Amino acid sequence: MNQKQTTVIFFLLALISALILRQSGAELVGHENCDTTAIDKVPGCYDALRLASDSDYRWLSKDCCQAVSTFLDPCFLVCYPGKSYPINIFQDICSSKFPGSN
C-alpha cells in the first residue's frame, strides 16, 4: 500500500468511527436534565434515587423526598449513563413512601 492509500483508509476509519460513536442528541429532545443541586445537598440522596430507579426504596429519606419535590415536571434525572427517568416517577414514589409529607 502506498502513502496515499494509507492516508485515505485512515481518514475513512476516523470518519466512520466518529459517526458511529457520536452522542445522540435525540435522547432527551424536548426535555431538560435536572439541576441536581437540591439532591446533592442531602447526603446519600442521589444514590437512594438510583436504587429507587431499580425498585429499591428502602434508602429514600424524608429529606431526600423533600428535595425531589422541588423539581418541576418536564425534568429528567439521569440515574445511570443512558438511563434517565422523569422526576415525577420519583415524586410518586416519595408520595407513596411518605404520604402527606410533600
Distance from C-alpha of 50 to C-alpha of 67, rounded to nearest angstrom: 15
Q: Phi-psi bin for 19: left (phi > 0), alpha (psi -120 to 50), beta? A: alpha
pLDDT for the residue 30: 41
Domain boundaries, the chain: 25-97
Q: List the chain pLDDT tens, one digit each, 102 residues.
A: 788 888 888 787 877 777 676 554 334 334 556 677 888 899 999 999 999 999 999 999 999 999 999 887 778 888 888 888 888 999 999 999 998 765
What local confidence, expressed as pLDDT, does residue 31 receive? Answer: 53
